[in-house]
Structure 1
Amino acid sequence: MPLPLYLLAMAVFAMGTSEFMLAGLLPDIASDLDVTVGTAGVLTSAFALGMIVGAPLVAALARNWSRRFSLLGFIVTFEAAHAVGAVTTSFPVLFATRVVAALANAGFLAVALTVSATLVSPAKKGRALAVLLSGTTVATIAGVPGGSVLGAWLGWRATFWAVAALCVPAALGILKGIPAGGVKEEATGGPALRGELAELAKPRLILVMLLGALVNAATFAGFTFLAPVVTDTAGLSELWISVVLVLFGVGSFAGVTVAGRLSDQHPGPVIAVTGPLLLIGWPALAVLADEPVALLALVFVQGALSFALGSTLITQVLYEAAGAPTMAGSYATAALNVGAAAGPLIAATTLSTALGHVGPLWSSGLLVAVALLIAFPLRTVIVAGRTT
């Protein structure tokens, strides 16, 4: 894999850390800015919604820009938003910085997904995507727990400064490693924006986007509410929360890495194997959550299966949207973030039921079941007719 791909993954690591880090910082933010924890929680929703709206919008605006200029502009904007967030004493200003950061993140990821596919041969899009998404999985392994520790030690503002600092080497790497030419300049005569948007009328593209959103919703439904499962259901101390999150991250890294080597040529078998196993795994985790050893093992397995299946489906989005060379990444990003926003909202409704803390795990299983029910009768067309 080319070096520029790893430079993009470094930036994705910084952005992934920012996206997930608030889970451990909300109480401190609420106390410092004199708002309730519930109010502080809208910072997470603001980021997710900014990602959903920002991916296609910003990608459309930047489609004729130089790829280096686009990526560099997005990461500098992302860095500046965190610097402002680190010094503000106003919650509305902090909220605004999260929206701006989300728009920059969405634009960066949308362009990076498209660029990553152009940095490799047409038959290696899955491997390129795996390298890019490894930045997100490493963020869950090291960035998020590290951010929580730094926040507990030096305060939440230090974590914002750390994310801003991570953007500096990533920006320098992009400046040195990404070619200056834009996608349009390298593909003269490519489709107009209307033609790229017309790709969304393709049934197979809509199908794989829907399945990718459902699987990612299942992933975030369970992942978001793992902390109370660890402390209340399994009876472990708070220190074990970081251990569980790291295990999930290590599993996700393994899953996306293995799937990246298979999803280009063998997407059907990957989906056929990981889908049913994932469906079994979430209810098994819910039932065995009070057994610490089983909890630790299953969290790793579910992380691996979730990202193996999710990354394979998102790879299919890039293949199916081959007729939209500048917008394909935004379609993949939107699918991912619709799931990331919807999953926790669905899971939260189960917390006040008799299921209690394991309710989100059952909702993850239900979301995977819905995805498989949709996919099964259409299994022959999910990977058929793929453009390579």
Structure 2
Amino acid sequence: MRVLHLGKFYPPAPGGIETFTAILAREQVEAGDTVEVLVHSETRGWRSRRRQDGAVSVVEAGRPGQLAYAPLSPTFPLQLQRCIAQTRPDLLHIHVPNTSAFAALLLPAARRLPWVVHWHADIPLDSGSRLLRAAYPFYRPWEQALLRRADRIVATSAAYRDASQALAPWRDKTVVVPLALGDAETPAPAAPLWPLGKRRLLAVGRLSHYKGFEVLLDSLVALPDVALLLIGGGEREAALREQVARLGLTGRVQLAGQVDDTCLQQAYAQAEIFCLPSLDRAEAFGMVLLEAMRAGLPCVASAIAGSGVGEVVRNGETGMLVAPGDAAALSAALARLADDADLRTRYGEAGRQRWQTAYRPAAVMAATRRVYAAALAGRAAAARPG
């Protein structure tokens, strides 16, 4: 099969959607498919380029600008037209949210193909961004047109599908397929990343408001024996550094910024507890939770209504769920794990087993293949006369 993926960015660009797109594309190539991925250039500029990720062909359309979370890429439609002409895909796999994907609605060559729309997240209208709220009325008709035209829609969890107002009219063609994560290379021994004598707490993610890292810092004030390593960059970095200093946490909180994959795997290998304190449904799934579970770490995460986080982390089995934004509850959960080595081990082992059984690429690849088959069959049936 020939598959053309449309996405925002592609690794080494960070992000859960980017990571998963690469995992799926590599798995498909391994299965014998011809796979191309059209995304935006991570660096700003007009220049487009083609590169290889092993046997996966990656086309990066020039991106001279960015508006909020939306890359501005006037050349994306042209690159899409070229990819279709050169690759001759059997199917488009469209990862959203991504405003550039709306180009498929306007190109006859794209409209002739079956579409699978991978719904990674709603537009986060409760994020506090006035720009997003103001822009969404203009975005929504395009979003709904994309969903209307899709032959099949993939949601990453039943909870997110059921809570999504955007998906509500299209439930009959929406299928749940979780994200996946493959094996990681065993990292070489490294110098300790945490201060000695402290419980080693790890958090990974973009430093955005919805990630709730401010709440995590507040929770640490009452936990003098816990040290945090926070990996990731973003617009809240300066505010978080100021908060660390104001709370007197400088000696046991390190904001590491973006790190390479080797350092990231060393962090997972050395950590004792993982935390994802996100505040709202902008956290649709939590790919980093799979990374933590793969490493055998117990997880503390937010019980976000309508998010897949509560499906990934099983409260009282692989970790603990607490109310979003509740620093006291988060502190209590972290304290319990910090004080109980047996509980950390039990949750960590259960999490690793859950990753092995539910979130491996082979199972997700098989489910995706069934979605493709349904999309192709549905399009073929619609094309038959009578």
- Could you state the TM-score of these two structures normalised by the residue count of structure 2? 0.29
Larger radius of gyration: 2
- Could you state the TM-score of these two structures normalised by the residue count of structure 1? 0.29
